[in-house]
Every structure is written in C-alpha cells, then in structure tokens.
Amino acid sequence: MINLQSVRKVFQTKDGEVKAVDTVDLNIRQGEIYGIIGYSGAGKSTLIRILNMLERPTSGTVTIGGKNMSELSSKKLREARQEISMIFQHFNLLWSRTVRENIAFPLEIAGYPKDRIKQRVDELIDLVGLEGRGGSYPSQLSGGQKQRVGIARALANEPKVLLCDEATSALDPKTTDSILDLLVEINQKLGLTIVLITHEMHVIRKICHRVAVMEKGKVVEEGDVLNVFKNPKEPITKDFVKQVTEPEETVDTIRQFIQEFPEGRIVQLTFVGGRAGQPLITELIRNYEVDVNILQGKITQTQNGPYGTLFIQIKGSEAALSNAMEFLNSVQVEVEVIHNA
Amino acid sequence: MLSTWFPNVQWDVLLEATQETLYMSAISVVITFVLGLALGLALFLTSPGNLWANKFLNSLIAIIVNVFRSIPFIILIILLIPFTRFIVGTMLGAEAALPALIVGAAPFYARMVEIALREINKGVIEAAKSMGATNTQIIFKVLIPESTPALVSGITVTAIALVSYTAMAGVVGAGGLGNLAYMEGYQRDNADVTLVSTVLILIIVFIIQWIGDRITTTLDKR
C-alpha cells in the first residue's frame, strides 16, 4: 500500500545540513496499523509529512496505492491527499466553525453538494460518538472530543490511509485509550490503513501490528510488534520496550529484595504469545523440589498476542535448581538469571 | 436655549458638515477594507514559508506599504493633488478627499491584516493542505474566517483614524466637520462652533468603537 525507497530529507540550517530523514525504506501493508516510534527530533514528524508531501523528500520515492507521490502534478496531488487524511497532536480544528462545520470542511473542499454534506456529517458524528455536540464550537469541547472531531473530519472523504501525527500525545491516559480504541474500531470497520507516529510505547503496544523504531533520522529496527517486544535488538528499542513491561520501580524492588534475601536464584521470565496463558509456575512447583516466590510480574496485550515478564525467586537444593532451570529453558519462555546465590 | 449657549452655530450647516464627514469616512473605510485586505494578504502570502513565498514581491509590497504609511497625511494630500485631479477632476468637496484618505489608510490597515494573519495557527493551514485544499480555498475558508476578530478590530482602529484624517482633509477644502471647525470656528474665532464640531466627531468615534467591539466579541468563538 505504502512504499518508501531510500527516502532522505535534508534541511539546510545556519549550522549546516541536518538529516531529518536518512535513507528510510518502509513497506506498509494495506489495512494494517503501522507505528513509528522515536524520541523528539528523531525525524518521525518529517517522515509522516513526507507521506502526503507536506514535506518534499530531498531524494527517494514514495509510492502510495501505486501512485508515485513526488511526481504528481499539484492538481493530482490535491486529489491524492483527499485519500490520505491526517490527524494532529493539537487537533488543528478551525475555531470559527462548529463541530458540524469542521467535519464538513473537507467535503466542501472536495466540492460535495450541500445535502450530501449534511447526510455524511450525520454519519460521521455517529461514528465517532459525538451525538448532540454538532453545534458546539471547538473551544467548548474537551481534548478527547476535539480529537474525535479531528478523526471524523479525517474520515469524511472516505480515505484509504489515515496518518496520525502524535494524535494522543496531548491527551490524558484515559482519553488516550478511548481514542486508541476508536482508531482500532475504524481500522477494522473501514479497513483503513493507519500510519501513526508516537513517542509512547503504550500506543504501539495497544494498537499497532507492526512497528519501526527511529533514531537520528534512520529506522534502526522494524518488525511485528510482538517480535520487537520479545527480542529488541537496539538499545533504544530496549528502552522503549521497558516503558511498558518494566515499570521504573521494578529494578529497585528486585535489587532491594536481593539485598534482604540473597538465597536461591532470581530469574526473569519473559513470555511471548500464547505461552503467557499457561500454568508454568504450577508445573514448576509440582514437578521439581523447589520453592517459588513471585516477586513481580506484568502481562501486556499487544495486537499480535500477549507479552509478559515475571520475576521469581527459586529456592531448593543445587540439583533441584538445575533441573528446574533446565525445564524453564525447555519451554518457550526467555529465561534470564539475574542473581545466583 | 441652544442658540443662547451656541450663538454662532448654524445647525443646518453643521448637519451638512456631519453628513460630509460620515460620507467621506464610510466610503473610505469600505475601500480601505478591500484594498488593505488584499495588500495584507499579499504581504502575508509572499512572506517566507507561506503559500506564495516570494522574496522579491514581498519586499516590493513591504516598501510600498511602508512609504505610504510613513508620509504624514497632510503632506500626502498635497502630494496626491495631481493624482486626485486626474481621477476626481477637482480638488474641492468630499469626493476629492477620498483618494488621499484611501492611499493613506489602506497601507496602515494592510499591516494590521498581516499581523492578524500571522496569528493564525500554522497547524490549521497545514490541516487544510493535507485535505487537498487549493490556495484559494485556504484563503477564503481558513485565513479570512480564522482571523475575522482581528480583521474587524483592525478596521475599527483604521476607521477611527480615517475620521480624524477627514478632519485634516477638511482643512484643505474637502468639507466636513474638520473644515467647519477650522473655517467657521478657528478662523472666525467662534469657539462654540469648534466645540460642537469636536463633540460630534467624538460621538462618531465612540459609535464606531462600540460597533467594532460588539462585532469582535460576537465573532470570537475561541
């Protein structure tokens, strides 16, 4: 659906050249939710704007739905943009228009007749759950409601692709989740391809099928969300994965525990996919002569399946311990011994 | 009673002068609004990073605007005499004041329009572009509607400046309350005529300000 080949974007500044996007190749499939994660300044904002040519790439090609975006005439580009809509971190609604008029805006641009606009706006208001707020001005809405207007506006022309520019970064966690649920709903209902950029791993974990990690203009890692969670290669990816699997306090808790109770082994188990649901610990205690003490654990759901980490302390004779470790290594979990008394 | 307090005021002449002032102000405000809006849009759109970014055009328009905005109005009237003769055919009467009023006020308003447009959130323009809007659609559906409160308060300030310009134009023969205050009040030493003319100008100014403020508050939904 979307194909990027060695896309580069170089800005000339007083301090010399800045490579905002540095030779990026991406392939985004039809109907998937594709996340691009990176810290601010990684170039993800520029990259997403290259997709609809709000920023022109310095070199490389961008193909969306078979069209080479950088070679389109300005008229053809405007038509193509009606099929690639965008939502924004700060919503970018027109304050001078009501909710209805804001949603009608792209339809006016596309030249729809008045009665069709009215009918379509009604549908969209229902779809994003803004019944009864049609006559309000954006200043009278909450952040979450504003983003719903943004989404309705973006869907008005029945686009094939939706670009989300940090769409939840200005919202509180609860509102973020409701907006993410809405994005998943429209992805499934309308079969829309969604490309989103974010700095929050939570967003990737919750709704994305595949993810690309960006650092200094380059895509340093890419793949299915679950695989990236399971096996992060780059240090920056490990940092992002830790955001959702290992809360800050985990490390401290475990360290303190080791100081107080230095016996046995402390092991970190990482479950990926189906295995997270199986009674592994029960098996461990039943079949081996060991005591198991659960220190901390967390299981998170991703679009491709569950992912979790569990910290346990295992106590027992040396022989029992090595048998237990052998068992753990034989099942499909990642085992890492953190402390061995 | 009026004739004992203001013995020298001829009320029919005063009425006529007021009408002339209102006529000059009204026509010049309308034309200044249109011209100033066009000039202000041109200034904004040709500035770096905008829809029609063009360094040469931008500095050309900026120079014209700055020159005409900087010439003192009374001198501008004199400089424009040949131009006015050519267009209006005479140097006397309310019509003859219009070219100078407009040439003096339009650049002034153009700068205010430019400032108003700069205040618009860039993200909204980007959003319109991302929907495939043409430049014309962006101008008429985004730029102008999103800056209306500032455009209205700007034209209010400009209209008030125009009322005082008409008084100056009156001195060089355009009629109106300024002319009355100068010729009948000052030259003939009738302080009451000057006073009444001044009060009438103040009333006009207050009414303009009040209307401007009302419209601005109604339009502003932020």
CA distance A66 to B164: 63
Minimum CA–CA partner of A136 in chain B: B221
Contacts of B49 in chain A (CB under 8 A): none
Mean pLDDT of chain A: 90
CA distance B212 to B222: 18
The pLDDT assigned to B162 comes to: 94
pTM above 0.80, yes or no: yes
Q: Min CA distance, B151 vs chain A (Å)?
A: 13
- Would residue B198 count as lying in a domain? yes
Q: How many domains does chain A have?
A: 2
- Do A100 and A193 have their domain in common? yes
- Would residue B86 count as lying in a domain? yes
CA distance B3 to B16: 18
CA distance B192 to A194: 76
CB pair distance less than 8 Å for A92 and B123: yes
Angle (CA) A17 A19 A22, round 5°:
150
- Would residue B1 count as lying in a domain? no
CA dihedral (B187, B190, B191, B197) in degrees, to 10, reads -80
The pLDDT assigned to A276 comes to: 56
CA distance A200 to B97: 64
- Do A194 and A253 have their domain in common? no
Query: Domain of A264: which CATH number?
Result: 3.30.70.260
- Would residue B5 count as lying in a domain? no
For the cut 90, the answer to whether the pLDDT of residue A9 exceeds it is yes
CB pair distance less than 8 Å for A78 and B130: no
For the cut 80, the answer to whether the pLDDT of residue A245 exceeds it is no
Of the three residues A229, A244, A259, the one that is the final residue of a domain is A244
- Do A151 and A289 have their domain in common? no
Q: Tell which B residues from 125 to 144 touch A, by Cβ distance under 8 Å.
A: 126-134, 137, 141-142
Q: What is the pLDDT of residues A51-108, one digit of tens each?
A: 999 999 999 999 999 999 999 999 999 999 999 999 999 999 999 999 999 999 999 9
Contacts of B130 in chain A (CB under 8 A): 52, 54, 81, 84-86, 163
- Do A226 and A192 have their domain in common? yes
Region B89-104: mean pLDDT is: 87
Residue span of the structural domain in which A172 resides: 2-244
- Do A106 and A229 have their domain in common? yes
The pLDDT assigned to A340 comes to: 78
Mean pLDDT of chain B: 91
Q: What is the pLDDT of residues B161-176, one digit of tens each?
A: 999 999 888 877 788 8
Closest CA to B60 of B71, B47, B73: B47
Write the DSSP string, A61-91.
EEEETTEEGGGS-HHHHHHHHTTEEEEETT-
> For tokens 């659609």, what's the residue?
B137
- Do A216 and A255 have their domain in common? no
Residue B212: CB atoms within 10 A of its CB come to: 19
- Do A16 and A41 have their domain in common? yes
- Do A141 and A69 have their domain in common? yes
For the cut 70, the answer to whether the pLDDT of residue A274 exceeds it is no
Residue span of the structural domain in which B138 resides: 11-219
- Would residue B22 count as lying in a domain? yes
- Do A278 and A298 have their domain in common? yes
- Do A203 and A225 have their domain in common? yes
Query: Domain of B59: which CATH number?
Result: 1.10.3720.10
Angle (CA) A296 A298 A300, round 5°:
175
Region A142-160: mean pLDDT is: 95
Considering only the beta carbons, identify the residue of A77, A95, A108 that sits closest to B141.
Answer: A108
Minimum CA–CA partner of A79 in chain B: B132
Region B6-22: mean pLDDT is: 87
| Model confidence band, residue A247 (pLDDT cutoffs 50, 70, 90) | low
The pLDDT assigned to B46 comes to: 96
Of the three residues A214, A244, A274, the one that is the final residue of a domain is A244
For the cut 70, the answer to whether the pLDDT of residue A226 exceeds it is yes
What does the block give as tokens for B141? 């559906």
- Would residue B29 count as lying in a domain? yes
- Do A326 and A216 have their domain in common? no
Q: What is the pLDDT of residues A278-332, one digit of tens each?
A: 678 888 888 888 888 888 887 777 877 777 788 888 888 888 888 888 888 887 7
> Is the confidence metric ipTM above 0.85 for this complex?
yes
- Say if residues B72 and B53 touch (Cβ distance below 8 Å): no
The pLDDT assigned to B89 comes to: 84
For the cut 70, the answer to whether the pLDDT of residue A172 exceeds it is yes
Q: What is the pLDDT of residues A121-131, one digit of tens each?
A: 999 999 999 99
- Would residue B48 count as lying in a domain? yes
- Say if residues B166 and B176 touch (Cβ distance below 8 Å): yes
Of the three residues A189, A211, A244, the one that is the final residue of a domain is A244
- Do A82 and A209 have their domain in common? yes
Query: Domain of A116: which CATH number?
Result: 3.40.50.300
- Would residue B164 count as lying in a domain? yes
Contacts of B132 in chain A (CB under 8 A): 77-82, 106, 109-110
- How many inter-chain contacts (A to B, CB under 8 Å) are there? 66
| Model confidence band, residue B184 (pLDDT cutoffs 50, 70, 90) | confident
CB pair distance less than 8 Å for A137 and B221: yes
